[in-house]
Amino acid sequence: MTTGLPPVIKAASIIGYRLVNSKFPPISLFDDVADEDEFDALYELQAMTNPRLQTELGNLNLVKKEDIPFGIPGCSYATGPFTHVNPEGSRFSDGQYGVLYMGDSLDTAIAEVAYHQSRYWQGVHGLDYDRLVFRGLKCRVGQTELHDATTISFKSPIYDPDSYSASRVFGRELYQAGSEGLHYHSVRKPGATCWGLFTPKHVNSIIQTAHFEFIWNGKEISSVNRFTRT
In-domain check, residue 2: no
The count of structural domains within the chain is 1
pLDDT digits (tens, 9 = 90+) for 44-57: 888 878 877 888 89
Nearest to 103 by CA among 115, 95, 120: 115
Beta strands in 54-160 (DSSP E): 100-103, 130-141, 144-148
In-domain check, residue 158: yes
CB contact at 8 A, 145 and 151: no
pLDDT digits (tens, 9 = 90+) for 81-123: 999 999 999 999 999 999 999 999 999 999 999 999 998 888 8
Q: How many CB atoms are closer than 10 A to CB 41? A: 11
In-domain check, residue 1: no
For residue 110, what are the domain limits? 8-229
In-domain check, residue 161: yes
In-domain check, residue 139: yes
In-domain check, residue 156: yes
Is the model's pLDDT at 128 over the cut of 80? yes
